[in-house]
Each structure stands twice: as C-alpha cells, then as structure tokens.
Amino acid sequence: MNKISISSEIKEKCPDLVLGCFSCNLTWAASSNALNEAIQNTCIKLAETLTRPEISQIDTIASSRVAYKALGKDPSRYRLSAEALLRRVVTGKGLYQINTIVDTLNLISIETGYSIGGYDLDKIQGDIVLGIGAKEEPYEGIGKGRLNIENLPLFRDDKGAFGTPTSDSTRTMVTENTNSFLMIFLNFGNHDSLEKVLVQTSDLYRKFTNAEDCQTFIID
C-alpha cells in the first residue's frame, strides 16, 4: 500500500484536517439494481428534506468551505464535490450513473457530506502527499478539462497532481480495468463521524461491488 501523508504547509492552514482512507480489490460493473434503488431512495429523501441554502451548513461541508477560504480559494466558484452532488440532488436532478465503483462513492458522499477522492490505485506512482496546488500546476479534471488548482487541497504522487476535493483527475480515474481502488475522505473539521463512515463504506462496497481485502485507516 502506498504511504499517505499530510504536508506541513496545508496542516498549518488547516490544523483540524484528518484523512480517512479505504482501499479494496474489486471488479468493475456498469450498474447494479440494488445500488440504483439505494441511490434513488436517498435522493428522494434528501430532495424532500434538504434545501439548497442548507447544504453549505452541513458540518462536513461547512468545515471544508472554511478550509478553502483559509487556503485562498473561493468555495462558491471551485465547489466541493459533495456540495456539487447535493445541489443536483435537491433540485431533482439525481446523480449521474457512471459505474458501481463511482456510484457507490457518490452515494456515500451525499449521505455524509464528505468530499471523497476515488482512485485507481494501480495508476498511482509512489507515496501520496496532500499539499496545496501551485500556480499553473497542470491538472486535467474529470469532465472539467484543465483546472486551475492553485491554492486547492491537492494530492500528489511521484508523477504529480492527481486529486482535489473539487474534481478527481483523468490520470487516476476509475475505468473498466480498475481492480485496486482507493478512497480518501477529506475531513477538514476532524468530525467524529469519520470512523463510523469508514466502516459503512466497507459494508457498502462489499454489498454493491463484491469488494475484497477491504482496509480502512485514518491519517492525522
């Protein structure tokens, strides 16, 4: 397993930052009826009980927005992935159906408010370090093209940048060839829910993707 750490530069500006990590081996599938039903039920419930102004007040999202501002990034312009997903849900648009690996991640994200990175572990080279994006640092976001990652929280490996809470990169994205999977939860407020969420994540991936060799750990 690749070593994962938090750099001192981002820890100084986000002292409560903790990472929750989940890894497993799994098999890609286009869809799952059980997963689609779970997503639909969750989306209906959230659309009925949550308003758009309330999304930014969810603890896990609110602390992430504070962190973005501390780093010098506008969270309303570079929206957190969890917030963007929930904004779709409360307006009745639901979630994009991609594949069982990504769809399960998105379900967990809207249920918890955590922005989560999801990566093909075999595409990551060397150790993983969470730092801060540099000016003009190259980055291709999934569905976004070239993304300005200056001052964003940023995961890097030996090959460079590959993940932010706003958008994962095309370089390490999940495909039909993905067998080893890594998720990283960005917990900017050191919320107590993280450990429980990691257990639930293992359960859901076993249920919806037949995941094996599931491991969870926390990095502070």
Please tell me whether residue 172 adopts helix, strand or coil conformation: coil
How many domains in the chain? Answer: 1
Q: Give percent of the chain with pLDDT exceeding 70.
A: 100
In which domain, by residue range, is 106 found? 4-219
- Note the pTM of the prediction, 2 decimals: 0.96
* pLDDT (0 to 100) of residue 202: 98
Do residues 196 and 187 lie in contact, with contact meaning Cβ atoms separated by under 8 Å? no
Distance CA 53, CA 117 (A): 24
Query: Which CATH number covers residue 53?
Result: 3.50.40.10
Distance CA 197, CA 58 (A): 15
Q: In the structure, what pLDDT confidence band is assigned to residue 190 with cuts at 50, 70 and 90? A: confident
**Residues 90-136 pLDDT 10s:** 999 999 999 999 999 999 999 999 999 999 999 999 999 999 999 99
64 pLDDT above the threshold of 90: yes
**Residues 8-50 pLDDT 10s:** 999 999 999 999 999 999 989 989 999 999 999 999 999 999 9
* pLDDT (0 to 100) of residue 1: 77
Cβ atoms < 10 Å from Cβ of 211: 23
Distance CA 86, CA 92 (A): 10
Average pLDDT taken over every residue of the chain: 97
